[in-house]
Amino acid sequence: MTATIERKPSKRRASAPRGPRESLVSRTMAMAVMGIASLYFLVPLWWLFVSATKTRSDFTTTAPLWFADFALFDNIGALFAYRDGVFLRWLGNSALYAGAGALIATLLAAMAGYAMAKYTFRGRELLFNIVLGGVLVPATALALPLFLLFSQIEATNTFWSVFLPSLVSPFGVYLSRIFAAASVPDELIEAARIDGAGEVRTFFTVGTRLMAPALVTIFLFQFVAIWNNFFLPLIMLRDEELFPVTLGLFVWNSQVSQIPDIRALVIVGALLSIIPLIIAFLSLQRFWQSGLANGGLK
């Protein structure tokens, strides 16, 4: 047991004492599991990427997992040109539904969660429990009654019929409360009060800063929830101009049997619709991972 362990000690294990050296067999087996899992998760995405670069004839005649003539940019051009660029419109719609929706939802949830963590008031626990119950209500269960309500006021098939319901994030309130209780010290709020800052101003200057990892986490997960939401737009929207990208691609995919050429557009469109989310997760990972680790699991 004198041989040095070659792994570079990671930060969090640097101080841990060294136990018995892990056997080569268990290390190999662990890496084998990792390798197989990597293939399982990556191969479909790889196939999507490779397929999106192919011409229509190469798609069915060449090896599915390797490149043929590289026509990705032609395909993207064709996708953007199809039916006066309706796909770009869908991407823009999704960005607006998910971006603006998640931003407002995060702000509202943070304010409510902060208030429940930092102030005592009558009915606080009751309110929190009702919101927690809301976490368990699935979005699809709300879609049909929302449709009925919006039809009563003749507001279905509008931007607002999809946008407004997405501003509510009960899970965000839950996460904000836990995070605010753990990371915003009462002394700081007290100090701000002595300096003469109002309660609301204190929240925006002190509270939001300390809650930042939770806010990024709430924003990202709400963003994904709205971006992925399918049932609500499916039953609310008739007008293609208002579609988010998921609904648009769904409609195209169900037309493949009548318009076979559309299949290539579905594949390129699917690839493009994934990229914004991957970028968002990668660029913000530092924040949301610590938000998950510290807040969500009490």
Partner 1 sequence: MSHKKAIAVFIVPFGVLFTVFYVVPIGYAIYQSLFVLERDGTFGAARQVFGGLSQYIAVFQNAAYWESIGRVLLFGVVQVPIMLGLALLLALLLDSPLVRGSKYFRLLFFAPYAVPSVIAAIMWGFLYSPNLSPFSAVTGSIDFLSASSVLWSIANVVTWVYVGYNMLIIYSALLAIPQEIYEAARLDGASQARIAWSIKIPLVVPALVLTGIFSIIGTLQLLAEPQVFQSFTSAVTSTFTPNLTIYSTASVPNISLAAAMSVVLAIATFILSFTVLKLTQRRTAS
Is position 196 an interface residue for partner 1 (rule: CB under 8 A)?
no
Q: Which of residues 24-63 bind partner 1 (CB under 8 A)?
A: 26-27, 30-31, 33-34, 37-38, 40-45, 47-48, 51, 60, 63
Q: Which of 100, 90, 101 is nearest to 247 (CA)?
A: 90
- Which of the 8 DSSP states describes residue 22? P
Interface with partner 1 in residues 66-105 (CB under 8 A): none
Please report, as residue ranges, which positions from 148 to 187 form the binding site for partner 1 (by CB under 8 A). Answer: 148-149, 164-165, 167-168, 170, 173
CA 177 to chain centre: 20
CB of 134 to partner 1, least distance (A): 5
Pick one of 142, 182, 206, 284: the residue that binds partner 1 (CB under 8 A): 142
Binding segment for partner 1 (CB under 8 A), chosen from 74-82, 84-92, 132-140, 208-216, is: 132-140
123: left (phi over 0), alpha (psi -120 to 50) or beta: left
Using the contact rule CB under 8 A, the part of the chain among 72-80, 85-93, 208-216, 262-270 near partner 1 is 262-270
Cβ within 8 Å of residue 171, ≥6 positions away: 135, 218, 221
Least distance from C-beta 69 to partner 1, angstroms? Answer: 18
Interface stretch with partner 1, choices 67-75, 85-93, 125-133, 208-216 (CB under 8 A):
125-133
Per-residue binding letters, 230-249, with partner 1 (x by CB under 8 A): xx--xx----------xx-x
Identify residue 69 by its one-letter amino acid code.
D
Rounded Cα distance between 187 and 117, Å, is 14
Element (H, E) at 112: helix 101-118
Q: Which residues contact 195 (CB under 8 A, 6 or more apart)?
A: none
